[in-house]
Amino acid sequence: MKKIDLHMHSTASDGTFSPSAIVAMGAAAELAAVALTDHDTTDGIDEFMDAGKAHPEMLTIPGIEISTLFDGREVHIIGLFIDHHNPGLIEFIKRIQGQRHDRNLKLVEKLGQAGYSVSLDEVTAVSGGKIIGRPHFAQVIKEKYAFNTLQDVFENCLKRGTPGFHPRILPQPAEAINAIHAAGGVAAWAHPVYRNQNERSWVRRVLRKIAPEGLDAVEAYYSKFDAGQTRIMTELAKEFNLALSGGSDFHGENSPGVMPGIGFGGLEVPENLLPPLLEIAKKYILRSC
């Protein structure tokens, strides 16, 4: 059975490979399907879908990853099979991007106060003028202040609890789910148990709220999941009648060691997850027409 990768990022957000390069890498890895799921933007999807025409053997899936807030913690919702030209989704994304810009201005201020002088122009240059996120700030700081790795920058400057951290204003999960459904897409919760304590109870608590709000699937396969975490997600998906999804969360050089379709080398997202996701997508496509 072939493998798939339904969680990948390009230069349209905080990855280091172009959307067309993502397609080429997926084809080289002989994947059955790849999804482009950039953060809070669909800017790379046209290029991604055009590149996919040269590889009819591989399904190219338009997607997005939207950060939301639940009980003070981030919950990332992935949209798969979306109509990226849907007016409602576009308006929703613009609102999120505006809030991201406001957060970035505060990052510049707080990093400066902490002794790390970074301008928004410098960060914009690194991002290529696309969606600006903390990895772009990390790249600038790494070069200017001689940090060894991007992770070192996050640990010292950018993660929660450090002097440069500033939270974003985020939508609720239901808002993201509704926007994805209105665009004919399938809503999946990304990396639910990654870096969480009391994993099973945390996921069950969130699912009790967002499954009735329309969540369709959960990532059970992820680069940083071990076998136990995959088992937790598979069991909870069955309990809440949700489909399964999975992917590498590939960001190119911004995710060292992670490769399309294989994660750190042991990831196997099976092709047989696709049919249930496609069936769900058909329901929302008909509803959105």
CATH code for position 102: 1.10.150
Six-digit token pair at 158?
């950018």
Residues 125 and 181 in one domain: no
Give ∠ CA 93-183-194 in degrees, rounded to 5.
Answer: 65
Displacement of CA 143 from its chain's centroid (Å): 25
Q: Which amino acid is at 112?
A: G
> What is the number of domains present in the chain?
2
Which of 224 and 198 is assigned the larger pLDDT?
Answer: 224
- Can you tell me the mean pLDDT for 168-174? 94
Give pLDDT tens digits for 36-60.
999 999 999 999 999 999 999 999 9
Reported as a pLDDT band with limits 50, 70 and 90, residue 286 is low
110 and 246, same domain (yes or no): no
- What's the pLDDT band for 236 if we cut at 50, 70, 90? very high
Helix or strand (DSSP H, E) at 222:
strand 217-222
What the block records as the tokens of 196 is 């969480």
Q: Is there a single domain that holds both residue 238 and residue 216? A: yes
Domain boundaries, position 114? 94-158
- In this structure, what CATH number is given to the domain that contains residue 38? 3.20.20.140
- In this prediction the pTM is 0.89
Kindly state whether residues 67 and 130 are assigned to the same domain.
Answer: no
Asked if 71 and 197 sit in the same domain, the reply is yes
Same domain, 205 and 273: yes
Characterize the bridge pairing of strands 217-222 and 243-247. Answer: parallel
The answer to whether residues 139 and 275 belong to one domain is no
Q: Are residues 31 and 65 in the same domain?
A: yes
